[in-house]
Amino acid sequence: MAEPSSKAGYYVGVDLGGTKILSGVFNHSMETVSSNKLSTKSQRGVEAVIERVARCVKDSVDEADLTMKQVAAVGIGAPGAVDFANGTVIFAPNLEGWKDIPLKKALEKQLGVPVFVENDCNICALGVYVTELKSKPRSMVGIFVGTGIGGGLIVNGDLYSGFCHTAGEIGHMVLEVNGPKCGCGNKGCLEALASRTAIFQQIKAGIKAGEKTILSDMLGNNLNDLRSGDLRKAIRRGDKFVDRIIEGAAEYIGIATANLVNILNPEVVVLGGGVIEALADEMMGIIVETAQDYAMPGTLKNVEIVASQLGDSAGITGGAVLARREAK
Ligand SMILES: [Zn+2]
């Protein structure tokens, strides 16, 4: 429990997702003091979601036995294009009705502390960069594999967000011109080939086509409860079908890694997100090998390709890092 103090020495990081809101209170050393989770309920509308974000923050602060007066700032990652300078969410495809929403202004009014807004994957990259890599490398690429695939770029020690704040859309790198349809409208994006959604679709299609898998014994006919952890269990029990699908996804991520290394030549490539968290042992070796196969000779020399240990808390950690940086 935190010592009572009138000094505003704490930071709150928030990860606003399409299905859930996570918030976490951190001390100045970026250690977690408390965390909290609330469903997003985006169908209730923009105002209701902002209200729920504020509630999630206040509850996590209360859980830490603190008051909002002891919070120096809040940093929040939103799932879409964000104008960091004015804290507006320009567009968020997974949140109903989110277009040009002044999130910073609305939350500052409800919380009474400074609020800073960034793209969610940028914030995950920032969290990994500052807390796991201790800001040591000058450049880093973060690839986050979950429901979708997102990315964040650190260039010269800072987030690179691009001309219209949309840089780092690694998930929409096209790898198969005539590949499966992607949520963005294109075909063959990395996200449509290797995200959790894509992996689950391939598994369901395979089972329909008569493939034998332990997953059917584990979950019966209801594959709607399928989780990344089930895939790990199946592979460890010798499931060749699941193994083949995960290998395919890892290869695509490896090819994307090679493309990014060719273009950016970063010091470190960090893989994160729920799929990597659950399947790091199964996927990382293939990702590294495939990247070596496809990268230009010499470009991967001394480049580290590693898995993040932050898992689901990368977003809230990054939010707190952003809050600490901006509150100075
Ligand atoms: Zn796409």
For residue 198, the CA-to-ligand 1 centroid distance in Å is 12
- CA 186 – ligand 1 centroid, Å: 5
Taking only the tens place, the pLDDT of each residue in 124-154 is 999 999 999 999 999 999 999 998 999 999 9
Mean pLDDT of 271-277: 94
- Percent of the chain scoring above 90 in pLDDT: 86
| Mean local confidence (pLDDT), 233-248 | 97
Does 1 score more than 80 pLDDT? Answer: no
Summarised one tens digit per residue, pLDDT across range 39-89 is: 999 999 999 999 999 999 999 999 999 999 999 999 999 998 899 999 999
- Distance (angstroms) between ligand 1 centre and the Cα of 324 equals 33
With cut-offs at 50, 70 and 90, classify the pLDDT of residue 160: very high
Ligand 1 centroid–CA 280 distance in Å is 24
User: In the prediction, which pLDDT does 303 show?
Assistant: 96
Tell me: pLDDT of 294 over 50.
yes
Cα 79 to averaged position of ligand 1 atoms, centre (Å): 15
pLDDT at 5: 44
Instruction: Report CA(321)–ligand 1 centroid distance (Å).
Output: 29
Place 7 in a pLDDT band, splitting at 50, 70 and 90: low
User: Other C-beta atoms within 10 Å of 5: how many?
Assistant: 11
- Averaged pLDDT, 277-304: 96
Could you tell me the distance, in angstroms and rounded to a whole number, from the CA of residue 67 to the centre of ligand 1? 42
CA of 132 to the centre of ligand 1 (A): 29
Partners of 271 in beta bridges: 143, 307
Cross-sheet strand order for the sheet of 20-26: 32-39, 20-26, 10-16, 71-78, 115-119
Whole-angstrom Cα distance, residue 120 to residue 144? 10
Q: Does 3 score more than 70 pLDDT?
A: no
Reply yes or no on whether the pLDDT at 25 is more than 70.
yes
User: Tokens at residue 200, please?
Assistant: 């689950």
- First and final C-alpha spacing in the chain: 25
Q: How much is the pLDDT for 2?
A: 47
**For residue 8, how many C-alpha atoms fall within 13 Å in the half-sphere facing its CB?**
15
Q: How confident is the model at residue 266 (pLDDT cuts 50, 70, 90)?
A: very high
pLDDT of residue 328: 75
